[in-house]
Structure 1
Amino acid sequence: MIAQVAVAALAAGGLAACGGSSDAVLNWYVNPDGVAVFEKYADQCSTGDYDIEVQLLPTGATDQRTQLARRLAAEDSSTDLMNLDPVFVPEFANAGWLKEVEGDLGDRIIGSTEGEGDYLSGAAETVVWEDKAYAIPLWANTQILWYRESLAKAAGLDMTQPVTWEQVIKAAADNGGSVGVQADKYEAYVVWINALVQGAGGAIVSDTEAGRDAKVEIDSDAGREAATVIEMLADSSAAQPDLSVSREGTSLGQMFPKNGPGEFMTNWTFVYKNYEGVIDQPGGPTKEQFDDLRWARYPATVEGEVSKPPVGGIDIGVGAFSKHPEWAAEAAECITSEQAQVDLALEAGLMPSTNAAYDEVAASGDYPKELIELYRTSVDEGGPRPKSAYYSMISGAIQSTWHSPESVDPDTTPEESAAYLEDVLEGKSLL
C-alpha cells in the first residue's frame, strides 16, 4: 500500500533506531507506512547482542520489490529483515531468498490457514509457500467501500444490504457524486482488477504452482464482467477527472469537497485514521462531515455474488543470507508482537494480523466496533492476488493491457490480455 497522505514528512536523519551499544547491526527495510511505530520497535527490540536499524524502502510496491530483489539476488548479507508486500513472498521464497519460519511460530502460522491458529486465515495464507511459512504477518490490509451517508440516502441505497459496482456508480452519477478507485498504471490497479474478476467467480490465473505453466483464465465471463465494471465507471459522469492516474491518496480528496455530495470510494484501512487526524484542518473534513463518513463491504461485481475484497498488508521476512539469521528471526518475532500490531492500528491505522490484537483494538474504543469487524471479515473472506513465483510478470502484463481504464473493452481486453500474459509467461514477449 502506498504511504498515507496528510501525515508529517519524515526527516532523513530520523530513520535509524535509537539502538543500544552492540557492534552487530540488523538492517530492517521498511515501507513508508507506520515508520514512527517501526522506529519505536526497532529501539525496543534491540538487545545487548544487536541493534536494529530502520532503512526506508521506496514508496511504490514495484520499486520496493526491485530494491529488495536486487539485494537478495546478489546474496546481500546486510539484508536482515524486510517488510514484504504479500505478493513478494512466493517469488522470494521460491528463489531461496527467505529464511523459513520454523518451530512453534511456523506451526501456528500454517495452522491458521485452516482456522486453527490465532492469525487471521487470510493473513496467514499470504506467507505460506509449498506448505512452509516464509514470513510473519505483521498487519493485514483490506479494502472496503467508504462513502458519505448523506449521498447514499439521497440515492436511495440501502447500505445494510450488499451493493454492486453498478449500483454505486449509478448512485454517484445520479446525485452529483463520484466514485474513487485506484486506476493508475501500478500495482493497485491490478488489485482492483483481481477483486473484480474474483468477485465474478473467476481468476486471472490458476494452477500457479506450475510456475510459468500456470493456466491463464482472465479471458472468461468473469474477466468480461470485470471489464464491464471498469468501462461503466470510465464512461460515467461519476468517474473522477484523474481516473487513469488515480491512486490511494488522490482519491481521498473527493470525499469532503467544498461543494458537492462527496464520493463512494474503495480504499484501504488507513482511511479512517487519516480523515480523523485532519478534522477541522486545512483540506480536512469538519466534524460534521466526518460524522457523515460510513463504510460497507466491498461492492459486488455481479448482483447476487459475494464480493471478494482485496487482501494486502505487510509480512516480515528474514533474509536467507543474513550474517545473523538467529538474531534476525528473534527480532522478527519481537517486531511482530501483539502489542506492536496494536500500536500500528491505533497510531497508523494499519490493522492487525492476529485475532488477539484485533480484540484489543476493538476494546480500545479508538474505532467503531462494526468497522473493526468489517476489516476482520473482509480479510478472512477476501481474495488474495495470484500466489505465484512469477507474480511480477503477471501484474506487469495485466497493467500493460488493461491500462488506461478508458481503453478497457469487455469484448477485447480480457482476450488480448490473456494472449499477452501467456506470451510473457512462456518467454515469447517481454514486459
Structure 2
Amino acid sequence: MRGCGIRSAPGRKTRTARWRRLRALAALPLLVCPLAACGGSGGSGPVSVNWYNFPDDSGALQKAADRCSRSSGGRFRIVYHKLPRTADGQRQQLVRRLAAHDDAIDVMGLDVTWAPEFAEAGWIREWTGQAKRQAGKGTLAVPLRTATWKGKLYAVPYNTNTQLLWYRKDLVPTPPRTWAEMLDMARRLAREGKPHRVEIQGAQYEGLTVWFNTLVASAGGAILDPSATKPSLGAPAVRAAGVMRDLAHSPAADPSLSNQMEDQNRLAMESGTAAFELNYPFVYPSMKANKPRLFKSFGWAPYPRVDADRPARPTIGGIDLAIGAYSPHPALAFEAALCLRDRQNQLTAATAGGLPPTLRALYDDPAFVKQYPFAKDVLDALQKASVRPQTPAYQNVSIVVSHALSPPSAIKPNSTVATMKGQIDDALQSKGVIP
C-alpha cells in the first residue's frame, strides 16, 4: 500500500529475528499510517472507500460505515471522515478539494442544494443503470428531486428533513391553520399576559432563505422560473414578504428575531416564553429531555398555510450521497453509497440521530413511529414539500435573498421583492462556484 511500506531496523539480524519483527509489525493496525495513503487499491486486503459527511454525534454514521464494511465480504472498508460542522465549511472543503481533482473523495454528503453546482462543475458522477434504479426504488419523490439536475440523477437521498409547527397545547388547544390565525392567537395571548411568541429563523443566513422559500411556494410561486435562468418573483413573493413583515411588527416577534437560528428557537421555546415554534423534529427529543414539564403540553401540527385554501409547502432539507468524479474505484463507491442509505441504516439514523428517512416504507415501521409519533405529519409535509432554487448559482441566490430580507422588520414587500429580483438576475449570471 502506497506510503505504508515496512522498513526493517538497521544493523545485522538473523532471518529468524527479522521474521519475528515483520510479523509483529504486520499486526499493527492500519491506522498507523494516514488513511489517504492507505486507501489505494494496489495492496492486499479491502479497498478503503472514503466517505466524507457531516459530523454525527449519535454514532449512526459510523455504525452504517461499519455495517456496510462487514457486508462487503472483505472487498471494501468504508472510512467515515467528518467534515466541518457548518454547511458553509463542509461545502468549502469539498469545493477546494474537488477543484484540485482530489481522488481521495469516493462518497460525499451533499446538502440538498449542491447537486446542480457540483454536477455542472464535473465533480460528481451521474447515477445510471442498475445503481440509478436502486437509488429510486421506494424513495420519496421530493428528496429524489433534490438529487436531480437537468433530468439526470447525480446523488442518492440519504436523509431528509422538514419543519412542522410546534405549539403549547396548554395555551392553544387547537393549532392555527394559517399564518393569519397564528398571529391573531399570539396577539390574544399577549393581551392575556401569557407566553405568545412565534419562534422562527430570522437571522441573515440560510434559514431566512428557507423561511422565504417556504412562504413563496405556499403562496403558489417560486423564486426562480422553471428553467432556473431568471427570477420568478411576482405576487406570491410579495405575499410571502408581507407575512414576514407582519410577524416582525407583531407582539409575536421575538426581540432577537433578526439573530434567531434553529437552536436559539429551540431554547426560547424551552424557556417557556413562546407559544409557537417553526422548526425541525430535533426539538421534540430536546424538549422531552430538557423540559419534561413543558413537554407534557408540547404539540405539533402541519406548517401554517399562507392561504386557507392552499396547503403549505415547507422547504425540504437533508443530505444526498454523491460519488466523486476522481474516485479510483467508482463501482465500489456506488455500492457503498447504496448500502449506507439502505433500510437498516436509515432506520438507525432516524432513531439514533433524529434524521427523517427518505424511504417511504420506513414511515410505517413500528420502530420509527415509536420514536417519531409525528411520523405521519412529517411524511405528509415531505410529500407536499418545496425545494430551494435548483441552480449552480444557488449560493449566490441564497445570499441575495437573505441579505434582502434582513432584518425582517425592515421589509417593504413590494420594493424589497423588486430589489431582490434585480439582484437575483445578476447573481444568476455568475458560474455559481464560490470557493
What letter corresponds to residue 414 of structure 2 in structure 1?
D
How much has 1:103 moved relative to structure 2?
2.5
- Contact preservation (8 Å) 2:392, 2:431: no
Calculate the TM-score normalised by the size of structure 2: 0.83
Displacement of 1:361 in angstroms is: 4.9
1:131 paired to 2:154:
no
* TM-score of the aligned structures, taking structure 1 as reference length: 0.84
Alignment map for 1:19-418 (pairs within 5 Å)? 22=45, 24-33=47-56, 36-46=59-69, 47=72, 48-110=74-136, 117-153=137-173, 158-159=174-175, 163-175=177-189, 176-209=195-228, 214-218=229-233, 220-257=234-271, 260=273, 262-276=274-288, 278=289, 284-286=290-292, 288-361=293-366, 365-368=370-373, 371-418=374-421
Partner of 1:114: none
Point out the structure with max Rg over C-alpha.
2
Change (3 A) 1:180 1:364: closer
- The CA distance in 1 between the partners of 2:431 and 2:106, in whole Å, is 36
Where 2:158 maps in the other structure, the secondary structure is strand
Instruction: Give the aligned residue type for 1:408.
Output: I
- Post-superposition offset of 1:52: 2.0
The answer as to whether partners of 2:287 and 2:294 remain within 8 angstroms in 1 is: no
SS of structure 2 residue aligned to 1:415: helix
In 1, Cα distance between equivalents of 2:217 and 2:310: 10
| Equivalent-residue separation in structure 1 for 2:386 and 2:337 (angstroms) | 26
Hey, what's the Cα distance between the residues in 2 that align with 1:401 and 1:333? 40
Contact 1:190 1:395 in 2 (8 A): yes
Q: Secondary structure at the match of 1:150?
A: coil
Unaligned stretches of 5+ residues in structure 1: 1-15, 111-116, 279-283
Q: Structure 1 residues 29-38 or 401-410, which shifts more?
A: 29-38
Cα offsets for 1:180-209 (capped at 9, x unmatched): 111211111111100011111111111335
CA distance in structure 2 between the aligned counterparts of 1:145 and 1:239, rounded to whole angstroms:
16
CA shift in 2, pair 1:173/1:57, >3 Å: farther
- Aligned pair count reads 386
Question: Which whole-Å deviations, capped at 9, do the CAs of 1:124-162 have from their partners, x for residues lacking one?
Answer: 111122222211111121111111111213xxxx33xx6
**Deviation of 1:174 (Å):** 2.6
C-alpha displacement at 1:23, in angstroms? Answer: 6.4
Please say which of residues 315-324 and 352-361 is displaced more in the overlay.
352-361
- Per-residue CA deviations over 1:156-182 (Å, capped at 9, x if unaligned) read xx33xx611122123123313111111
Deviations 1:255-310 (A, max 9, x none): 2325x5x321111122222323x2xxxxx212x42121111111112332221111
Give 1:344 deviation, angstroms: 1.0
Distance in structure 1 (CA, Å) of the matches to 2:55 and 2:408: 27
- The AA in structure 1 aligned to 2:206 is E
C-alpha spacing 1:414/1:430, structure 2 compared with 1 (3 Å): farther
Q: Output the amino acid matched with 2:100.
A: A
Against the structure 1 CA distance between its residues 149 and 88, is the aligned structure 2 distance closer, same or farther, given a 3 Å change threshold?
Answer: same
CA distance, structure 1, for counterparts of residue 243 and residue 66 of structure 2:
47
CA RMSD of aligned residues (A): 2.5
Shift, 1:347, TM fit: 0.8
Percent identical among aligned pairs is 35
CA contact (8 A) 2:158 2:318 kept: yes
Instruction: State the AA in 2 paired with 1:418.
Output: K
**Compared with structure 1, are the counterparts of its residues 403 and 99 closer, same or farther at alpha carbon in structure 2 (3 Å cutoff)?**
same
| Residue identity in the other structure for 1:173 | R
Gaps of 5+ in 2: 1-34, 190-194
